Structure 1
Amino acid sequence: MASVWVGNRGTIRDYPSFNAPRDAEAIRKAIRGIGTDEKTLIDILTERSNIQRQLIAKEYLAASGKDLKDDLKSDLSGNLERVMVALVTPPAVFDAKQLKKSMKGTGTNENALIEILASRNSKQMKEVSQAYYKIYKKSLGDDISSETSGDFRKALLTLADGRRDDGFKVDEHLAKKDAQILYNAGEKRWGTDEDKFTDILCFRSIPQLKLTFDEYRNISKKNIEDTILSEMSGHFEDLLLAIVKCVNSTPAFLAERLHQSLKGAGTDEFTLNRIMVSRSEIDLLDIRAEYKKHYGCSLYSAIKHFSGSSHLFPVANLQSKILQNTL
């Protein structure tokens, strides 16, 4: 069965002459030698698919009696350690941990919650929710409920439940009807019926929403984004805008998030690492193209520029390997 975490626009694919025991042994030597052989670790882990990395981890455990993730944690540090550990983590588990991290401690990282929940499809979210419960013995929905509120909470919970239609069929009559409902719930009335926006934007399929937004433009003479900006506020507005951006182009939305993570004082490593790792086998080629189109330089150059001369240098090398088709 094909994995829901593998697309045809990733930069990382299955390694052709894959040999799990050989890779596990090479990694063991790289970790156990005098000083860590970071180059070997980077070369192997960025040139194998996630499924192959899971097989390497299994062989590593069988041969050494140790967990590969634990050995990487104890041997590496900082951002390099975080990316390497992310690479040997199954995708649904990685997302579950990212979601937990965004809700842990004082304050919630709403941007991370929005990015993950707006850009994953229903099958992916179902796997993430299962992984979340398995790791934390608590449902993802319960944690979202305790960390968020109001319309924002309601929309996040709908997305977390994986209830969006993942189909490809479009219904023109339904698109006209939904567009009219959205118009009546926002532009046409005093005050806004937020529930209608949540129901349509969080349940309908992506192709269906594309058509609905076209119909909306015909009825209101405005883009749905403009209506959301004028009718909503706060994190609920941010979430609905993220959904619209993902409907238009998930790679463009994630390229924008990468750009934000790389500008200003200091790099937002949390976001940079998450997008690079989680999309490396899905659509990183398209994210890269969108980045170049919108920001005038390659993603590779941007990462080198912001991290090449700092403590992030080893990880800049690692990120460039994940982006290997740029080189």
Structure 2
Amino acid sequence: MAMVSEFLGQLTLSYGTEVEPTFPTVVPVADFDPARDAVRIETAIKTKGVDEQTVIDILTRRSYKQRREIAFEYERLAKKDMIIALKGALSGSLEALMLGLMKSATEYDASELKASMKGLGTDEETLIEMVCSRNNEEMVDIKKIYKEMFKKDLEKDIAGDTSGDFAKLLLSLVQTKRDEPSNVIDYEKIDEDARALYEAGVKRKGTDVATWIAIMSQRSVPHLQKVFDRYKSYSPYDMKESISKEVKGDMEKSFLTLVECFQNRQLYFANRLSEAMKSKGAKEKVVTRIMVSRCEIDLMKIRTEFKKQHKRSLYQTIAEHTKGDYQKALLSLCGGDD
């Protein structure tokens, strides 16, 4: 009987192979007329003092594909580029948010990665968030678009901007060597990886970071979720506690981000939003980036996780910690209160 149950256990056919469903807050509007929207935006920009509310109402409630159509119609009617017109009319955080919406999710990710490595000093926090929270498919697309946009390889830019184990970890994630989820649960491999993580860290003096990097950048997410459960039978600490004991600085942040995203990616983003808004002088760049990059992917689910974790809605938190037209745009992307 034990043999049969073990065999059935290996046939869990839904083991993480489904396409990840989307939970957007921004969806295509039904009664869509790009020419009408283009005229309204042109009028809003020309108005003395700029009618930001109209721009917000239109751009935050249309899908990316629809925004592109509006931009096309705008150029045809106004004989100028809509993005340049928006740049001239808006400023500050609202401008950054609106211009972000005019890029596809992948273009936006690519440009945020580029910005994190521009000029003197690297914005490691952004680099960690972007590289450690994107799945294989997203990262393949980002690399392709990055090359098209900047005529450079993302890998080369990261290698030139980071060093040591931190560079090794980021590069191994960008190389997208992660296994695809399988229909068969390999219990032996789960046990082997859990033991290897323990022996490379908590069990020894000094951490064998290379082993941690290899396992966390190459195994499929459903496999790793089971590895972290199994890990507890070897280590007196769970995986996150072990990371905090073994490594510090950028490595600690990176490994923790990975584990949090493997366990619940939307909860990771919810916590990032909460931290960014709580911090003195809300970290608007972080808030903008998550709201813009996730609104057509999984922001509805992030909203749910936010409420569950922080006992108040994302909507209320945005209303409390931001202001003005920027606040209006964020609330519109948020798509409602929970």
The verdict on a shared fold, with TM-score over 0.5 as the criterion, is yes
User: Any conservation in 1 of the 2:315–2:336 contact (CA below 8 Å)?
Assistant: no
Q: Corresponding residue for 2:203?
A: 188
Distance in 2, matches of 1:264 and 1:233, equals 22
Return the letter of the residue paired with 1:52: Q
Q: Which moved more, 1:112-121 or 1:179-188?
A: 179-188
Identical columns (%): 39
Deviation, 1:201, is: 0.7
Does 2:296 match 1:281?
yes
Distance in 2, matches of 1:55 and 1:184, equals 55
User: Any conservation in 2 of the 1:13–1:48 contact (CA below 8 Å)?
Assistant: yes
Q: Corresponding residue for 1:219?
A: 234
Q: Corresponding residue for 1:80?
A: 94
Return the letter of the residue paired with 2:316: S
Does 2:141 match 1:130?
no
Distance change (3 Å), C-alpha of 1:26 and 1:245:
same
Secondary structure in 1 matching 2:210: helix
User: Any conservation in 2 of the 1:121–1:166 contact (CA below 8 Å)?
Assistant: no
Distance in 2, matches of 1:67 and 1:166, equals 42
Distance in 1, matches of 2:156 and 2:77, equals 39
Q: Which moved more, 1:196-205 or 1:161-170?
A: 161-170
Q: Which has the higher Rg, Structure 1 or Structure 2?
A: 2
Q: TM-score, normalised by structure 2?
A: 0.89
Deviation, 1:166, is: 4.2
List runs of 5+ in structure 2 lacking aligned partners: 1-19
Q: Corresponding residue for 1:89?
A: 103
Does 2:65 match 1:51?
yes
Q: TM-score, normalised by structure 1?
A: 0.92
Does 2:249 match 1:238?
no
Q: Corresponding residue for 1:322?
A: 333
Deviation, 1:177, is: 1.5
Q: Which moved more, 1:245-254 or 1:132-141?
A: 132-141
Return the letter of the residue paired with 1:323: C
What is the alpha-carbon root mean square deviation over aligned residues? 1.9
Deviation, 1:247, is: 0.8
Distance in 2, matches of 1:232 and 1:96, equals 28
User: Any conservation in 2 of the 1:167–1:205 contact (CA below 8 Å)?
Assistant: yes
Secondary structure in 2 matching 1:319: helix
Deviation, 1:7, is: 4.8
Distance change (3 Å), C-alpha of 1:292 and 1:168:
farther
User: Any conservation in 2 of the 1:119–1:250 contact (CA below 8 Å)?
Assistant: yes
TM-superposition CA deviations, 1:243-299 (whole Å, max 9, x none): 000011111111111111112320111100000111111111221222222223222
Return the letter of the residue paired with 2:130: I
Q: Corresponding residue for 2:113?
A: 99
Distance change (3 Å), C-alpha of 1:33 and 1:228:
same
2:40 is aligned, of 26, 37, 44, to 26
Return the letter of the residue paired with 2:149: I
List runs of 5+ in structure 1 lacking aligned partners: 1-5
